[in-house]
Amino acid sequence: MSETRPYYKTRLRARGQITIPPEIRKRLQVREGDDVMFYVTDKGQVVVDQVRVIDPEQAWFWTERWQKMERESRQDYENGDYVEFDNIEDAINHLHEYANAKNKV
């Protein structure tokens, strides 16, 4: 069975400008004024992607280590493996108890 995919046509303008079709803009989550990047794969395919500018103060969040912890945290939440607290003091006490129990092992 052959795979069918949508194709989008655009025209190259005199100064090298193109209009990115709305379906592609939506998929890339880009709007007027956003930057996009083009790169060529080893197979010669041209790829268009969004440019994500990360605030240097927020770069830690996008590290592979932190993203791994985010995925694990989301999985714990989806599995119901979490504890809820009525106030911050109870949460802090729970963390202290958890740390003490872990140090005894």
What percent of the chain lies above the pLDDT cut of 70? 97
User: What SS3 class is residue 46?
Assistant: strand
pTM exceeds 0.85 for this model:
no
Joined together, the tokens standing for residue 30 give 């880009």
Residue identified by tokens 């714990």 is 76
Q: Which helix (H) or strand (E) holds 28?
A: helix 22-28
- Report the alpha-carbon distance of residue 21 to residue 19 in Å, rounded: 6
Domains of the chain: 1-53 (2.10.260.10), 56-104 (no CATH)
Provide the pLDDT for residue 53. Answer: 82
State both tokens at 70: 């985010």
